[in-house]
């Protein structure tokens, strides 16, 4: 019942996911709010409300490795206080929910972890009295932190951290847990500045070595940035397009040491047949045919001339309308967001693994007059949309391309509208009469800086309409059973299909080729 609880409080619609470990610390990820099992109903209300406060009152993410462990944990305590204060201004009853969990007293001792718990209580409860001068200083420094100014937050944490250094108090950040325990681990605060990423559900074992927090986009030094482009974005709340709103970085995808798993030959053969026998979308009128739907005016003129001149008569007098399969530019766009790391249809493979298999099968089966490209995308806010080039139209299907495909990893979010606009701009450069952008995805768009459920779905719908007006067809292959409503909202009744088992790829692809507009 926590999801309705958050919707009632703030209209927030974010998944609440169980963490099997009873002693696990709550955390926020791209997938939702993660909470351990086996706690009391009041604890779940307190934890979910606290996480929601972070989401509703975000601040710009901060660099991780430029700060000591003590400074980082102090920033976390001060930020927890800031978002709870703002939440309680809107809903004063939250104070009665959170305060009973603050039980720290001077009896805990003078260590750094006990002082942190006492500081958290002092900042949350004006009636709490603590004799330690460091606690009093923390109260004074936190008084002006209600806005999201990162400099003020850094200064307050640095001052308090320097005092801890002067007191020579020891701190082991690997054993630290937030107090009170309904609070999350604040990994959401930090931007990535190293290649390491945390696995969802794993304990945070980072020390003072500067490893990066999860949920951002790690930068591979081997990735070449081809170009950076800004795209507009539709805001349905104001019914206007925000110009130059999203930054898309087009890059070459990293390679792995292995090659992408390609499906069995019968499946590849079936896909090749579907591409060869795709529905004809163009109709041409061929003149001078012996049979047809109407007379050819030029043929009738020649007939009259031949009769007057008593010459042999050419009986090819008709126009015939014929269906034609024009050359096709097919762009496969793979969603590599963090949620694609989850199992596909209760199988051992992840959604992304299946997406790579499907893309590899189509890419290997495509041949003239079908030109195929394979690209991927992920995001970490509107300024960080990575568009990864796995295979371009001119590239041969070889071991290097397969290694790029295998190198795709699940990370980040799904800012689909920006990716569709960028892919459509690349298709506009193609000369093929038929151009199709096919998205392989597991669900509806989502990004860390957007908390209104319809915002990115509506933007993707508008982006699809823009592509269609430029004579680019758009379709989608859904890789999760629950993504049908989102695909229907974005694409309409046709142009998409759910893939419930890999062997059904030829059928699903044929359905999309026939119905995509």
Each residue's pLDDT tens digit, 443-465: 889 998 888 889 999 999 999 99
Chain position carrying tokens 């499907």: 358
Cβ-based neighbour number of residue 136 at 10 Å: 14
388 or 272: which carries more pLDDT confidence? 388
Region 157-169: what's the mean pLDDT?
Answer: 86
Structural domains of the chain sorted by starting position, each given as residue range(s) with its CATH number in brackets? 2-191 (no CATH), 225-276+326-515 (3.40.50.410), 282-324 (no CATH)
Question: Which residues are within 8 A (CB) of 335 and not within 5 positions of it... i.e. 6 or more apart?
Answer: 355, 376, 377, 378, 414, 416, 439, 440, 441, 442
Which is nearest to 467 in space by CA: 439, 488, 446?
A: 439
Q: What pLDDT does 213 receive?
A: 35
Tally Cβ neighbours within 10 Å of residue 103. 11
pLDDT at 407: 92
Does the pLDDT value for residue 164 go beyond 50? yes
Most confident range, picked from 177-191, 296-310, 383-397:
383-397
Query: Percent of the chain at pLDDT above 90?
Result: 44
Going by C-alpha positions, the residue among 100, 196, 118, 189 that lies closest to residue 150 is 189
pLDDT band at 146 (very low <50, low <70, confident <90, very high): low
pLDDT grade, residue 251 (50/70/90)?
A: very high
| Whether 439 contacts 477, CB under 8 Å | yes
103-117, 318-332, 438-452, 471-485: lowest mean pLDDT where?
318-332
Cα 238 from Cα 222, distance rounded (Å):
41
What pLDDT does 298 receive?
80
Cis peptide, bond prior to residue 370, ω within 30 of zero: no
Q: Is the peptide bond before 59 cis (omega within 30 degrees of 0)?
A: no
Confidence of residue 207 (pLDDT cuts 50, 70, 90): very low
Of the candidate ranges 130-134, 141-145, 214-218, 380-384, the one whose mean pLDDT is the lowest: 214-218
Q: pLDDT value at position 198?
A: 35
The pLDDT of 58-72, averaged and rounded, is 81
Question: Collapsing DSSP states into helix, strand and coil, what is residue 227?
Answer: strand
Mean per-residue pLDDT of the chain: 84
**Contacting residues for 48 by C-beta, under 8 A, at least 6 apart:** 2, 5, 6, 16, 33, 35
| Start-end of H helices in 91-170 | 94-98, 112-124, 133-142, 150-166
pLDDT at 222 > cutoff 60: no
Q: Give the least confident one: 148-157, 213-222, 311-320, 339-348.
A: 213-222
Query: Strands, DSSP E only, in 217-369?
Result: 225-235, 240-252, 282-289, 294-295, 318-324, 328-335
pTM of the model: 0.56
Q: Provide mean pLDDT across the span 73-102.
A: 93
pLDDT category at 255 given cuts 50, 70, 90 is: confident
User: Is 41's pLDDT higher than 80?
Assistant: yes
Can you give the pLDDT at residue 199? 34
Q: What pLDDT, on a 0 to 100 scale, did the predictor assign at position 63? A: 80
pLDDT at 318 over 90: no
């Amino acid at each position: 019942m926590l999801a309705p609880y958050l919707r009632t409080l703030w209209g927030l619609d974010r998944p609440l996911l169980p963490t099997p470990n009873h002693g696990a610390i709550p955390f926020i990820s791209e997938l939702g709010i993660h909470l351990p099992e086996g706690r009391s109903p009041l604890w779940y209300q307190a934890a979910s409300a606290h996480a929601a406060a972070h989401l509703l009152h975000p601040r710009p993410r901060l660099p991780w490795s430029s700060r000591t462990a003590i400074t980082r944990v102090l920033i976390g305590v001060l930020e927890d206080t800031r978002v709870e204060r703002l939440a309680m201004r809107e809903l004063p009853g939250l104070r009665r929910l959170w305060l009973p969990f603050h039980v720290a007293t001077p009896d805990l001792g003078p260590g750094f972890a006990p002082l942190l718990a006492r500081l958290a209580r002092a900042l949350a409860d004006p009636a709490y009295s603590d004799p330690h001068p460091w606690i009093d200083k923390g109260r004074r420094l936190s008084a002006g932190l209600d806005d999201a100014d990162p400099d003020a937050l850094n200064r307050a944490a640095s001052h308090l951290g320097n005092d801890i250094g002067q007191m020579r108090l020891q701190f082991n950040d690997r054993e630290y847990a937030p107090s009170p325990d309904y609070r999350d681990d604040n990994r959401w605060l930090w931007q990535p500045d190293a290649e390491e990423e945390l696995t969802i559900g794993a304990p945070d074992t980072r020390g003072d070595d500067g490893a990066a927090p999860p949920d951002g986009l790690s930068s591979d030094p081997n990735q070449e940035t081809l170009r950076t482009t800004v795209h507009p974005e539709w805001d349905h709340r104001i019914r206007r397009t925000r110009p130059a709103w999203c930054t898309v970085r087009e890059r070459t995808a990293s390679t792995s040491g292995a090659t992408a798993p390609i499906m069995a030959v019968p499946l590849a053969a079936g896909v090749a047949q579907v591409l060869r026998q795709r529905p004809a979308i163009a109709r041409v009128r061929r003149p001078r045919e012996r049979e047809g739907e109407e007379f050819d005016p030029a043929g009738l003129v020649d007939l009259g001339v031949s009769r007057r001149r008593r010459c042999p008569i050419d009986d090819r007098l008709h126009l015939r309308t014929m269906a034609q399969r024009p050359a096709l530019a097919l762009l496969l766009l793979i969603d590599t967001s963090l949620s694609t790391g989850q199992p596909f249809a209760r199988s051992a493979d992840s959604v992304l693994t299946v997406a790579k298999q499907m893309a590899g099968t189509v890419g290997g089966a495509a041949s003239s007059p079908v030109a195929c490209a394979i690209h991927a995308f992920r995001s970490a806010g509107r300024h960080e949309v990575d568009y990864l080039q796995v295979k371009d139209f001119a590239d041969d299907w070889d071991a290097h391309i397969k290694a790029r495909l295998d190198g795709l990893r699940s990370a980040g979010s799904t800012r689909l509208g920006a990716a569709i606009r960028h892919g459509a701009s690349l298709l506009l450069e193609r000369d093929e009469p038929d151009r199709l952008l096919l998205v392989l995805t597991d669900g509806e768009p989502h990004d860390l800086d957007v908390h209104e459920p319809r915002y990115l779905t509506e933007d993707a719908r508008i982006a699809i309409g823009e592509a269609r007006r430029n004579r680019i067809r758009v379709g989608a292959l859904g890789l999760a059973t629950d993504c049908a409503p989102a695909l229907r909202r974005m694409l309409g009744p046709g142009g998409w299909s759910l893939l419930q088992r890999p062997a059904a790829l030829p059928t699903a692809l044929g359905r999309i080729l026939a119905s995509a507009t």
